[in-house]
Amino acid sequence: MDTDLPLADELAAVFARMSGLMLSTETVNTALELITALAQETTATDGAGVTLLDEHGDRVTAAVTDSLVSHVDGLQYKLDEGPCLTAWERRTLVRVDDLTREDRWPRWVAATTGIRAVLSAPLVAGDEALGALKVYSRRPGAYGNHDERLLTMFAAHAAVLLANVRSYEDAKRVSDELRDAMRVRDLVNMAKGVLMAREATDERTAFLLLTGMARDQGRPLREIADGLAGTTVRRRR
């Protein structure tokens, strides 16, 4: 019989490890590996994985604890049906007690071997569904209400973790882009100074000369500016 979820005892250590990761992780892969490992540990399952979209917009299993998970997930993506895709798309927990008695995804069930039970929870952060966390078992009836509550709560925290990692990477990318833009601005200003001194002209005319050089040579403005500014630096040395 299922028992109430012992939050203090069973989840405290898990969430503490995840909180530590939010402060120290440098890559999404590191986060996903920990998520799947903890999912397997806390549900005593045969395999766990996380389904997400890759940079090309394709559905992929980003982290797995067993090769069987990759195979079963791959069939879902190929056939465009299955429990983890339903959990993700409908943002709801999906539980399968025995695949031999399941009729919601006929093509996937017919092609799937090696598992009997599935439990999948959506990863939702704010208004965005990021993917699905799923566990598979080779024995029927492997998951109960206790496991449903456990995976649902775990997936909620995992979604926050992934959202934080993505936010960090987005912020870093914006910071890098801003730094690059400022560098280009500085190069252009230096290049304009070079042309103003060399051609004895004003700033506006120097900028027009610079853009004209880039157009005539078919090169980015940054390269032209970098060449002029670099020449000046080398001469000073």
pTM of structure: 0.65
Q: Looking at the chain, which residues constitute the CATH 3.30.450.40 domain(s)?
A: 7-171
pLDDT averaged over every residue in the chain: 80
CATH architecture of 173-236: Orthogonal Bundle (1.10)
Closest CA to 134 of 117, 115, 153, 121: 121
> Are the C-beta atoms of 143 and 137 separated by less than 8 Å?
yes
Which pLDDT band, with edges at 50, 70 and 90, does 208 fall under?
A: confident
CATH architecture of 7-171: 2-Layer Sandwich (3.30)
Token pair in block for residue 197? 């001194």
**Cα–chain-centroid distance for residue 224?**
37
Per residue in 26-68, pLDDT tens? 556 777 787 788 888 888 799 999 998 777 788 999 889 999 9
Residues 6 or more apart whose CB falls under 8 angstroms from that of 184 comprise 221, 222, 225
